[in-house]
Amino acid sequence: MKKVRKAVFPVAGLGTRFLPATKTIPKEMLTVVDRPVIQYVMDEARDAGIEHFIFVTGRNKTVIEDYFDVQFELYNTLAERGKNDQLDLLRETQPKPGQTSFTRQQVPLGLGHAVWCARELVGDEPFALLLPDMIMQSENGCLKDMVELYQHTGSNIVAVQECDPEETHKYGVVGRGDEAHSGFEITGMVEKPPHGTAPSNLYINGRYILQPEIFPLLEAQERGAGGEIQLTDAMLKLMTDQAFYGFHYRGRTFDCGSREGFVEANVAFALWRPDIYPNIVKVIEDLLESTKPMERRSKPR
Ligand code: UTP
């Protein structure tokens, strides 16, 4: 069985839900506490043993490439000033030379198309796919546990989580079959099922391990829901030839592509940080106490 060495991060979306910020800042560079969203996802991949990081970018996203580069002047200034803690932090968060690749999607035709754009960089081997606007919080990373399941089952793995059965129409949802090691066999998949038709309440949370046979299927893929080339449609086709296993992730997932999810992630990660936890608890308590409903603005500004 081939090892999962490479991870793909599609970062070419327009991020319209975060306008006006995303006019100039990619949503993946918005910060949760003190580091950009993309750093959390990169760290999760690295902890899972990923050795090569492939970014599918678009216009206005060059800052992501700069972020993962070495900033010599900053390093030298920090060294001269004896700021060793900050230097260590930069080194820890930095990929090693040659570990990153960047390609452009050119036109944002959908997630499936963005993944297809990485085909030459992935080559003929299994790869992890991480949607960078979904960030996870748990002791063990979601992808790390998926890689462990992959070592037992091979094939394709999709991470899922439970949602309110009333909300299934917002997500890609899977059908649950027999247990298999720490996961289960996936019996079907549907993108945004109409009310009352979902095969379960297990939604796909943005982490995948896929076989390279997905690429020719994506190439032939017609536009699906929302006029976009959908990854779920290609996965469904691949399911006729290859097994798909579900990994039921039990940690927290924050959808940083939505405003509520992004604010929630900031609060949750601040509460997780021992250095700022006590102050943050106090700040939240004081704000809840002092913000009376009538003070809340009627319009966002
Ligand atoms: P989303 O639909 O959440 O991203 O795609 P978006 O289009 O940027 O967001 P909104 O709805 O306009 O606010 C999920 C992931 O797939 C990537 C996005 O960057 C995001 O990480 N994506 C989506 C692409 O790389 N290319 C696409 O054509 C579409």
Ligand 1 centre distance from Cα of residue 9 (Å): 11
pLDDT surpassing 70 at residue 293: no
Helix (H), strand (E) counts: the chain:
11, 13
Residue 131 in any domain: the answer is yes
Q: Tell me: the pLDDT tens digits for 5-46? A: 999 999 998 889 999 999 989 999 999 999 999 999 999 999
- Please report the pLDDT score of residue 192 as a whole number: 87
Residue 268 in any domain: the answer is no
- Please report the pLDDT score of residue 113 as a whole number: 95
CA 226 to chain centre: 21
- Please report the pLDDT score of residue 299 as a whole number: 62
- pLDDT-based confidence at residue 280 (cuts at 50, 70, 90): very high
Which pairing describes strands 244-248 and 172-180: parallel, antiparallel, or unpaired?
unpaired
Q: Which three-class secondary structure state does DSSP give residue 108?
A: coil
Q: Is the CB of 131 under 6 A from ligand 1?
A: yes
Residues 6+ apart with CB under 8 A from 22: 14, 15, 16
Residue 270 in any domain: the answer is no
pLDDT surpassing 60 at residue 300: no
Residue 266 in any domain: the answer is no
Q: Tell me: the pLDDT tens digits for 97-108? A: 999 999 999 888
Ligand 1 centre distance from Cα of residue 115 (Å): 11
Ligand 1 centre distance from Cα of residue 132 (Å): 9
Q: Is the CB of 206 under 6 A from ligand 1?
A: no
pLDDT surpassing 80 at residue 296: no
Residues 6+ apart with CB under 8 A from 99: 51, 52, 53
Give the global pTM. Answer: 0.94
Residue 209 in any domain: the answer is yes
**Residue 171 — φ and ψ, nearest 5°?**
-125, 175
Q: Tell me: the pLDDT tens digits for 263-276? A: 999 999 999 999 99
Residue 174 in any domain: the answer is yes
Ligand 1 centre distance from Cα of residue 227 (Å): 13
247 forms bridges with which residues in the sheet?
Answer: 159
Nearest CA owner, ligand 1 atom 18: 13
113 lies in which domain range? 6-258
Q: Which among 234, 73, 253, 78 is positioned nearest to 156, based on CA atoms? A: 234
Is residue 206 a contact partner of residue 190, using CB atoms and an 8 Å limit?
no
Q: Is the CB of 7 under 6 A from ligand 1?
A: no
Number of separate domains in the chain? 1
In the chain, the percentage of residues whose pLDDT exceeds 70 is 97
The CA distance from 195 to 33, in Å, is 36
Which alpha helices (H) appear in 5-164, and where do they start and end? Answer: 37-47, 62-67, 72-80, 84-93, 111-116, 119-122, 142-153
Residue 282 in any domain: the answer is no
CB neighbourhood size of 162 (10 A) = 13
CATH code of the domain covering residue 70: 3.90.550.10
Q: Is the CB of 133 under 6 A from ligand 1?
A: yes
Ligand 1 centre distance from Cα of residue 257 (Å): 8
Q: Which among 207, 218, 44 is positioned nearest to 131, based on CA atoms? A: 207
- pLDDT-based confidence at residue 298 (cuts at 50, 70, 90): low
Angle of helix 259-272 relative to helix 277-290, nearest 10 degrees?
130
Q: Is the CB of 205 under 6 A from ligand 1?
A: no
Residue 297 in any domain: the answer is no
- Please report the pLDDT score of residue 226 as a whole number: 73
CB neighbourhood size of 64 (10 A) = 20
